[in-house]
Chains A and B, each alone.
Chain A
Amino acid sequence: MIQIANARKQFGNVTAVDGVSFVAKDGAITGLLGPNGAGKTTTLRMLYAVMKPDSGDVHVDNVDAVASPQDAQARLGVLPDGFGLYPRLTAREHLDYFGALQGIESDELAKRTEELLDLLDMRAIADRRTGGFSHGERTKVALARALVHDPQNVLLDEPTNGLDVMSTRAVRSIVRRLREQGRCVLFSSHVMQEVSALCDSIIVIASGRVVAQGTPDELRQQTGYQNLEDAFVALTGLDRGEHE
């Protein structure tokens, strides 16, 4: 479970995140929805403890991520914005590296790697260097790397961005499976359809603030629009020209 309360983050004069609060529950997929530049990535970075909020609290499974970032990180699997793979290492070596850093014993790590290679259908590419991988293949490596230590909480920053249909479906099915396993999945996107297709609960964020949250149905009710996309546009103020 992930909790964030009144988190603020400022870069110079720009307030990127302005008092964001929400809870992402176990056994559910929570969508963080907002236009580009709304503060999604900054919010996620505070959640996975590579950024410290200027004020506010972040808890992962009730561990204070501000005070003990490493303890929080051990409970998190993260797919950051841009995958950041090592082109000269193979897919398997990526799992080895991160698994070892997470402190997994080598027997356990080998077993876990095999499971993930099957789960993500990446046997054929397991021992190839990632330098020549397609976008979909790189997504799989980054996802497998995020899951290698079997984390209870999974944070995915725009995981389906730029993916083709088949790869998008593969990612969705993994995300659903993670929910079935009782994990907490937090998923950011700027695409309404993506979020509505997957999420149990949606947090709409605009200009660094949470402007609405609830199930897709609740969002429709709040805004009075039947079409979720219209609801999204209304909530984020895109129609008022506040964003480009």
Chain B
Amino acid sequence: MNAMRTARQTLIVCRKELRDSLRDRRALWSILFSVVIGPVLIGFMMNKLADRQREADAVRVPIVGMHRAPALVNWLNQQAGVHVVEGPVEAEKAVREQREAVVVIVPDDFAERFRSSRPAPLQLVADSSRNDVRPSVQRVQFLLQQYAAEISSLRLIMRGVSPAAMRPLAIEEIEVSTAQQRAAQILTFIPMFIMVAGFVGGMQIATDSTAGERERGSLEPLLVNPAPRVAFVAGKWMAATLAAVVSVCLTTVLCAQLTRLLRLEDMGIRLEIGPQHVGPILLAVAPMCLFTAALQGAVATLARSFKEAQTYMGVLILGPMLPGVLSSLYPIGNAAWTYAIPMLGPYVLLTDVLGGRVPGATPFLTSAGTCLLASAILIQITTRLFKSEHIIFGR
């Protein structure tokens, strides 16, 4: 009977906090902004990268002195996506002024030296300080080396030597990660954004309903209502968690739309966030939302003012960002113990899910379990704080 009443009061508090925060337009906009800005920004950058990759695949090769090397021009024209044109007169100037990405110059003595099997000179004019044309330049270099390799094989065969003698090593790269896994490595920011969205989404309610409530003077009248303190704490916590989960859903949908729009397959990345991922993503992040909301509530209750609480939030937000940042410095992997760390577990689960490897039930349960345990301890602490006269009436 008492438990039922407490549960009902918890829901009443939760409903009120949600309604109250939905009307806080300014806070809503700032949450929306911080949830949206990251994915959009990175999406924009990725799109640029993809464009460049496409440009490199279809490469235009301006050659000065085409008539001196007709065989090379022929060979180049036969390669897929290569288009040979007559080079500009002042090649270096054209490259420096960025009119051309790369220019190949065939010097006067090319044909003569080529015929007599001496190294035939070729000049490659390029500006190595330009990042945007680097794929094009590399492609041209690669094409020329390939041509050279073919010619040297032919020459060896003519002299009765097997071309294999020239290749003491046969190096073959074996890529073990699946395309989706590679994508997840590159797109480590998506798990990070989802986690930050979970953190930011609950922050407003967690601080406004504790530190803010006290600062407005509405905490005292609230506590005159005959409800156990845990009902107030749990209600506020539930509201913050729900807001966090909504914000996670929003970011997930946004990232899904982005990956579709970006045509990542052009970069050799196959990453797809489809409806089948939403369930596992939520399973991975919802327990973290419970934990972060509980943490925010406890810290904001301890803070002396709303401003101070906000300052602490600025520090705490490093929590959900840390795994993403660390993983770009050195690989975190997905050892069993990683799932048992509150912020790390959800991150590793997310990279698993987005990498196309759906982990079993144990990692999910381990991560959810530790998050729940930590939340329970924090709720206990906050409830104790809510009983302290020092906290209720300020210090």
Closest approach, in angstroms, between the C-beta of B13 and any C-beta of chain A? Answer: 8
Interface centre among A45, A81, A85, A100 (most CB of B within 10 A): A100
CA gap between A71 and B12 in the complex, in Å: 19
Inter-chain contact A84/B219, CB cutoff 8 Å: yes
Q: B194-229 vs A: 1/0 string, CB under 8 Å?
A: 000000000000000000000011111111111110
A102-B389 contact in complex given A82-B217, A84-B218, A97-B16, C-beta closer than 8 Å: no
In the bound complex, CA of A73 to CA of B12 (Å): 18
Q: Which of A86-94, A112-120, A171-179, A196-204 contacts B (4 or more CB under 8 A)?
A: A86-94
Cα–Cα, bound, A145→B8 (Å): 19
B221 to A142, Cβ gap below 8 A?
A: yes
Range of interface residues on B (Cβ < 8 Å)? 20 to 34
Question: B residues 1-15 with Cβ under 8 Å of A?
Answer: 5, 8-9, 12-13
Main secondary structure of the interface of B (DSSP, over half): helix
Q: How large is the interface on A (under 10, 10 to 19, 20 to 34, 35 or more residues)?
A: 20 to 34
Chain B residues whose C-beta falls within 8 Å of the C-beta of A70 in the assembled complex: 226-228
In the assembled complex, the CB of A49 is this many whole angstroms from the nearest CB of chain B, namely: 8
Q: Are B12 and A88 in contact (CB under 8 A)?
A: no
A102–B225 touching, CB < 8 Å: yes
B227 touches A89 (CB 8 A): no
Contact between B226 and A74, CB atoms less than 8 A apart: yes
In the complex formed, the residue of A with least CB distance to B228 is A70
Q: In whole angstroms, how far apart are the Cα atoms of A103 and B11 in the complex? A: 12
How far apart are the CA atoms of A81 and B8 in the complex, in Å?
28
Pick from B12, B223, B226: contact of A100, CB under 8 Å: B12
User: Counting CB contacts under 8 A, is B109 at the interface?
Assistant: no
A81 to B9, CA, bound (A): 24
B residues near A129, Cβ cutoff 8 Å: 23
Instruction: Tell me the complex Cα distance, A82–B214, Å.
Output: 12
Report if A76 contacts B (CB, 8 A). Answer: yes
Q: With a CB–CB cut-off of 8 A, which chain B residues contact A88?
A: 20, 23-24
Interface string of A48-73 (1 = CB under 8 A from B): 11111000000000000000011101
Q: Is B216 touching A98 in the complex (CB atoms < 8 A)?
A: no
Interface residues of A in 77-134 (CB under 8 A from B): 78, 80-89, 93, 97-98, 100-103, 129
Given contacts A87-B216, A101-B225, A103-B9, 5 further A-B contacts (CB under 8 A): A78-B221, A84-B219, A85-B218, A86-B218, A101-B222
- B-binding residues in A (CB < 8 A): 45, 48-52, 69-71, 73-74, 76, 78, 80-89, 93, 97-98, 100-103, 129, 142, 145-146
CB-defined A-B contacts under 8 Å, sample of 23: A48-B224, A49-B224, A50-B223, A50-B389, A50-B392, A70-B227, A73-B225, A73-B226, A74-B226, A78-B221, A82-B220, A84-B216, A85-B216, A86-B218, A88-B23, A98-B225, A101-B9, A101-B12, A101-B13, A101-B226, A102-B225, A103-B5, A146-B221
